[in-house]
Amino acid sequence: MCASTLKTIAAAAFAAMAASSVANAADMAPRYTKAPPPIVEIWTWDKFYVGGNVGYSWGRSDTSGTFYNNTTGVQISPTQSGNINLDGFVIGGQVGKNWQFGNWVAGIELDGQWTDEKGGRGFTCATAPGACNGLTFGPGLNVAPTTSFNQHIEWFVTLRPRVGMLVTPSALLYVTGGLAVAGIKTDGVLSGFTAASAPTSVAWSNDQTRFGWVVGAGVEARLGGNWTGKLEGLYMDYGSFSGSPVLLTSAPPLRFDYTSKVTDVVLRAGLNYHFGGPVVAKY
């Protein structure tokens, strides 16, 4: 074998070894894979919810009262009027549904409350001698008939649409308004004297279910998980209503006519649980 042939074989072998080294080096290079997209949970208000609330209320009863001779129908005392404070605590619950449209949220809520809102005053049949009390002798002579007067907003229910704007994805400012219904109890004791100058009285009571309207505003924000907290103020107007208790055993027989217009201001804090999880998005 000649020298040129040996050189050719050696060169070919060297080239083959070099190519193999390059291929091995490429196989040993690090390999990179693309990371999976992150999963992000997005809070949405588009859910049903239930919750509870507690607060305080400043009720007002604008009440007027007048004494009449029940036999003749003649007014025997000037009309007396004034405001009665019906303040007290409220506690209750609510259910509702929201729909979200971008940064806007619309919904409807039904709530029911139990209250200790109550107050009262007294009315006196004060007029010319003989008109309120026809006695001419005895311990009842010239003693004016009276009635106690108490009112209690025992419960109320509201049904209200809500419309609000998101100030952040998890904080909502809203206004609300709709129907308000309340159970209002009015009672007292009407007292006077019989023709024989003996004390006489009658306990009277009037329960009314009043339909009215409500407006208000509030803020609600996510606290974590499916829980939100809210602070809400409401104004309610239940309109006017009246009653006419009588004391037939007095001299003269008495009738007390009253008319009350009841309004209410409520400030309450609430906690809601929203059904359904957040929306999951991949970016």
pLDDT at 25 over 80: no
For residue 170, is it within any domain? Answer: yes
Count other C-beta atoms under 10 Å from residue 79's C-beta: 13
For residue 31, is it within any domain? Answer: no
For residue 34, is it within any domain? Answer: no
For the entire predicted model, the pTM comes to: 0.82
- Strand pairing of 279-282 and 39-42? antiparallel
For residue 3, is it within any domain? Answer: no
For residue 194, is it within any domain? Answer: yes
The residue segments making up the domain with residue 60 are: 41-282
Looking at the 3D structure of the chain, how many domains does it have? 1
Nearest to 107 by CA among 118, 99, 115: 99
Residue 235 sits in a domain whose CATH number is 2.40.160.20
ω into 78 cis (within 30 of 0):
no
For residue 232, is it within any domain? Answer: yes
For residue 178, is it within any domain? Answer: yes
Question: What digits encode the pLDDT tens for the residues 110-165?
Answer: 999 999 999 999 999 987 667 898 888 888 888 899 999 999 999 999 999 999 99
For residue 32, is it within any domain? Answer: no
Tell me, what's the pLDDT at 282?
A: 47
Question: What digits encode the pLDDT tens for the residues 58-101?
Answer: 999 999 999 999 999 999 999 999 999 999 999 999 999 999 99
